[in-house]
Structure formats: C-alpha cells, structure tokens
Chain A
Amino acid sequence: MGDPLTQADIDREIADIGAAVAKAVAAGEPEPERVTRDYPPYRSSLLRHPRHPLILTEEAEVELRGPVFGVTDVTDLDRDLTLHHTGEPLGERITVTGRILDRAGRPVRGQLVEVWQANAAGRYAHQRDQHPAPLDPNFTGTGRCLTDDEGRYSFVTIKPGAYPWKNHVNAWRPAHIHFSIFGTAFAQRLVTQMYFPNDPLFPYDPIYNSVTGEAARQRMIARYDHDLSSPEWSLGYRWDIVLDGPSATWMEEGR
C-alpha cells in the first residue's frame, strides 16, 4: 500500500493511454469504437476482465434470437420516474427520448429499455450508497418502457446529480443515467450510461474515458433539444442508441 491514489495519478494514466491511442491512430489504426475492458485507471476493471481473447463462434442459433417482452412487463407509469410516489421529486425535470437502431439503421421495435439513476443530489436509493447527500422520498430513480414501431423510447425524470465514488481521492462521476437495452438478438444486448452535454467532469472520469475513441465517447452524450423542452414544465434531451451485435443481425433481412 502506497500513498493514496490522487486525481493527478489517474489523470496521468488516462493521458498516457490517450497518447498511445493517438499514436496508433496517427500510424493508420482505426480509432477505437468500443470500450476497453482492461482499463487500469478504472481500478475495479483490473481483476474483472478476461485475459484470454474471446472465442469467435458463428454457431450462435440461440444468441441470434432473444427474449421477448410485452405489455404485461411494463405499466403505463413506468416511463415517468416523477410519478412513482405521492409527491413531486426535487430537481430539474427532464424528458429523455430517442431511437434505438441496429447497425443497419433499422428500428429496434417492441424491446425493453430500463433506466436507473441517482437523484438530483447525486444519491442512489440503494443501501450501499452512503454518499452524505439527501435521499428524496419522492424519487426512486428506476424506469422502463418498450420501444415503439419507430424504435422510440421516452422517459420523464429528474436530472441526476454528480456523485463521489472512491476510485481514487476526490473521484466524482459526471451526471449520467444508466440504460439497459435489449435488441432482437441476445447478442445485441447493451448496458451503458447516457451523459449530459458539456459536463466539466468528463476529463477526470476513468469510466467515461474507458471509451478511448473521441467519436465513440461523443456517442454516449445526449444532445439538448429545445424543441423537446416543454413550456413551464421540462427540459428535453435527445439520445439515439445504436446496438452493436454480430454481422448476422444486420446483414440479414427479416430477423
């Protein structure tokens, strides 16, 4: 055990990895599109990523299909996180909407989208979150909906606060909403985080920077959309999601 890990230590590690990526790109490598599972600045990733390469198999009859969800699995209120208690939650009311597409640009229809997030003060309604910020009795912070025929999802919620997380001294997560999305194939599964534009915490956060390609990081950031804002009511954000997945899910028609 050495000295406590500081933000400066983490900044240096993030910068070193960034410089290595920039050098590879300058040498003609494509910019990384995906997250890096082995990303040492995020200390919890050290013992939780495989060291063997993934085994490529095209024998995937099960994984090219996936679970189905229906009207029994959601209720009409699930998509409005501000209505889950008797009173109004505190914070900045927002709507978040967008489309879920596959890599061929086709809408992902009738699939389940789940979200969870901290409250406006940056506190999760979870026993293990002991950040000394107030819980909000009118906000749990979980929601779900099914995508429509255009692949659209939509939530009404409260803008989450930033929160500290002990990866290193003075580690703070940029504000984010956790998203879980099902595609039409189990092999298209995605769990990710939606970020808000211009967050000053981006450069300091190892989880955000574990996506080492700048263009790829931008794909995790929602866009403020004034046309989605509602007079005297809420601010609007738009975030489209593209599901990754085997080429079989986007080359072949009719799946």
Chain B
Amino acid sequence: MKPTPSQTVGPFFGYALPQAGGGDLAPAGHPDAVVVHGHVYDGAGDPIPDALLEFWQADPAGSLTGKPGSMRRDHVDGSFAGRDGVRFTGFARVATDADGHWALRTLPPGAATPGRPPYISVCVFARGLLQHLYTRVYLEPGTDPLLASLDPGRRATLLATPESPGVYTHDIRLQGDGETVFLDFG
C-alpha cells in the first residue's frame, strides 16, 4: 500500500505533544541517571525554538520491550499525571525551549545487539521540517557498521561529548557546517 505523506509538525504542537517531565526518562532518584543535552540549529546556525525531539532506547540490560506509562493521564480529571517514577518506558519526548535547547535525563542504554555499541534513537520534528528525521546518540565510543562507514567528521555528529560526570552534550544541526548524520532504514 502507498504511504500517507508526512507534513510538518507546524508551530502549534506545543500544547498537544510535549508534557511536563517528558524528558525525564530515568526513574526518580536513580543513581545511574545521566543527562544528555544540547541545542537544535538550522542552516544559518540559529537555534530552533520550535523543534520536538523523541527518544527511544533499550533499557540498561539491552531490552527493547518498552513499557507503557510515558504519557500517563490522570483518569479522574484527564490531566497529565506524569510518569510513575518507577518504570523505565524507553520513550521520551522533549520540545526545544526558546533558546533551542533540550535536555534528556535517562539511563544509559544497554546493547540491543551484543558486541555493538548501544545508542539512543532520536526522531526530530520541527516547524519548517516537512518530514521528521532520524538520528542517533552514542554515549560511549565503539564501532558498528554505520559508524565505520562514516568519515570522522560526520561520525562525530552521532557521538555525545562528555561534559562532566554523568552529563553529555549533543547538538543537532539540520543543515550546513557540521550537519548531523540523518538516517534512512531502507
């Protein structure tokens, strides 16, 4: 069957898709939690304040089963109830702020395939972007067929930079110098 075409997420998704705590994937107070944060930039190098990032990853043991509860609703008044603070759902959603900045608080993913470096899968939406883009964040060095196929400059766009213990920076550039590697899964 022919696919339904994509259209931009537009400027007004902000009251529908992101939720408070959407980037807090790690259970509350978890000792292994790490922060990955950065900006999203356009082709002029300007930050994008109306982008939406989604993250999907294995749990620390490498399981991709996932769990419900990323978007828990309050069944009494219909409001957003937040995560339950216990279950690791594998999914997070964060809108960039007015500075084009985002932050994810998560647990380091385990290897979905033994011997391959684990990564966090990222889906990028934005006003002006007519179809979402997929990329990845690798927290630890390693190699797999994708990383090995890229020249060092482009490969670096997929590798998070350690900033301080438990904190990584990672910028996403939609176009131009240092353009992030975006993926097609065939």
List chain A positions with a Cβ less than 8 A from chain B: 33-37, 39, 42, 44-52, 54-75, 77-78, 84, 101-105, 112, 114-116, 118, 124-126, 128-129, 140-142, 144, 178, 180, 186-187, 189-193, 207-208, 210-211, 215-217, 219-220, 241-248
A191-B9 in contact (CB<8A): yes
What does the 1/0 interface line of B134-146 toward A look like (CB < 8 Å)? 1000000000111
A187-B185 in contact (CB<8A): yes
Chain A residues with CB below 8 A from B109, complex form: 62
Q: In chain A, what residue has the closest Cβ to B176?
A: A51
B44-A47 in contact (CB<8A): yes
| A26 to B68 Cα, complex, angstroms | 49
Interface size bucket, B side? Answer: 35 or more
Q: Give, as a whole number of angstroms, the nearest-CB distance from B158 to chain A.
A: 10
Q: Give, as a whole number of angstroms, the nearest-CB distance from A124 to chain B.
A: 4
B42-A47 in contact (CB<8A): yes
Q: Give, as a whole number of angstroms, the nearest-CB distance from B90 to chain A.
A: 6
A116-B6 in contact (CB<8A): no
**Contacts A73-B69, A220-B7 given; 19 further ones with Cβ under 8 A?**
A49-B129, A50-B182, A51-B176, A55-B183, A57-B185, A59-B144, A62-B57, A68-B67, A69-B68, A69-B71, A70-B69, A71-B68, A115-B16, A191-B8, A191-B9, A210-B130, A220-B5, A244-B6, A246-B185
Q: Give, as a whole number of angstroms, the nearest-CB distance from B85 to chain A.
A: 13
Q: In chain B, what residue has the closest Cβ to A178?
A: B10
A35-B131 in contact (CB<8A): yes
Take A75-B78, A192-B7, A207-B7 as given contacts and tell me if A61 and B113 are in contact as well, using a CB distance cutoff of 8 Å. yes
List chain B positions with a Cβ less than 8 A from chain A: 1-17, 42-44, 46, 48, 54, 56-58, 64-75, 78, 89-91, 109, 112-113, 116, 119, 121, 123, 125-134, 144-146, 149-150, 154, 174-176, 179-186
Take A116-B12, A187-B185 as given contacts and tell me if A34 and B5 are in contact as well, using a CB distance cutoff of 8 Å. yes
| A64 to B90 Cα, complex, angstroms | 14
A36-B130 in contact (CB<8A): yes
| A116 to B13 Cα, complex, angstroms | 7
Take A189-B123, A192-B7, A247-B186 as given contacts and tell me if A73 and B70 are in contact as well, using a CB distance cutoff of 8 Å. yes
| A57 to B109 Cα, complex, angstroms | 20
Take A47-B42, A47-B175, A55-B181 as given contacts and tell me if A190 and B2 are in contact as well, using a CB distance cutoff of 8 Å. no
DSSP majority for the A interface?
loop
| A42 to B57 Cα, complex, angstroms | 33
B2-A243 in contact (CB<8A): no
Chain B residues with CB below 8 A from A77, complex form: 78
Chain B residues with CB below 8 A from A219, complex form: 2-5
Q: Give, as a whole number of angstroms, the nearest-CB distance from B43 to chain A.
A: 4
| A104 to B10 Cα, complex, angstroms | 29
| A58 to B183 Cα, complex, angstroms | 10
Chain A residues with CB below 8 A from B67, complex form: 68
| A37 to B182 Cα, complex, angstroms | 13
Q: Give, as a whole number of angstroms, the nearest-CB distance from B70 to chain A.
A: 6
| A46 to B90 Cα, complex, angstroms | 33
Q: Which 6 A-B pairs have the closest CB atoms?
A: A70-B68, A44-B128, A67-B91, A116-B16, A244-B3, A47-B43
A243-B4 in contact (CB<8A): yes
Q: In chain B, what residue has the closest Cβ to A36?
A: B130
Chain B residues with CB below 8 A from A210, complex form: 7, 130
Q: Which of A50, A61, A215 meets B2, CB within 8 Å?
A: A215
